[in-house]
Amino acid sequence: MSRELTFDGVPVLSRGRHRSPRKGACFMEMASYLAGEKWSDHPSCTHPLLAQLARMVNDHTSDAERSALAPLIPSVVGVGGGLRSGSEAEVRWAVGFVVAVAAHTLREIPEATQRAVATGLIRCEQLAATLSEPVPGIEELRAVLADVPRAESWARAFSVDRRISHKAFVRHAAPSMVSCAVDGTVAHASNAADARLRDLLEVGIEAALRLDDDLAPPTRVEAPSGALLGSRHGEAEAGSREAALEGAAGRTS
User: Domain extents for the chain?
Assistant: 1-79+220-253, 84-217
In the chain, the percentage of residues whose pLDDT exceeds 70 is 81
Question: Could you give the 3-state DSSP secondary structure of residue 93?
Answer: helix
Does residue 37 surpass a pLDDT of 90?
yes
- Model pTM score: 0.84
End-to-end CA distance of the chain: 33
- Helix or strand (DSSP H, E) at 76: none
Residue 69: pLDDT band (50, 70, 90) is very high
pLDDT, one tens digit per residue, over 165-184 is 999 999 999 999 999 999 99
6 secondary structure, DSSP code: -
Residue 229: pLDDT band (50, 70, 90) is very low
pLDDT at 82: 74
Q: Rg of the Cα trace of the chain?
A: 19
pLDDT at 248: 66
Widest Cα–Cα separation across the chain: 61
Out of 5-9, 49-53, 160-164, 246-250, the most confident range is 49-53
**Based on the number of CB atoms within 10 Å of its own CB, is 199 exposed (0-12), middle (13-18) or buried (19 or more)?**
middle
Residue 1: pLDDT band (50, 70, 90) is very low
> Kindly report the CA angle at 35 between 31 and 36, in degrees rounded to 5?
120
pLDDT at 8: 53
**Based on the number of CB atoms within 10 Å of its own CB, is 146 exposed (0-12), middle (13-18) or buried (19 or more)?**
exposed
User: 25 pairs with which residues across the strands?
Assistant: 13
4 secondary structure, DSSP code: -
Whether residue 71 has a cis bond before it, omega within 30° of 0: no
Residue 245 neighbours by CB under 8 Å, 6+ apart: 30, 34, 70, 71, 73, 74, 224
User: Contact at 8 Å (CB) between 200 and 53?
Assistant: yes
Distance separating alpha carbons of residues 153 and 158, to the nearest angstrom: 9
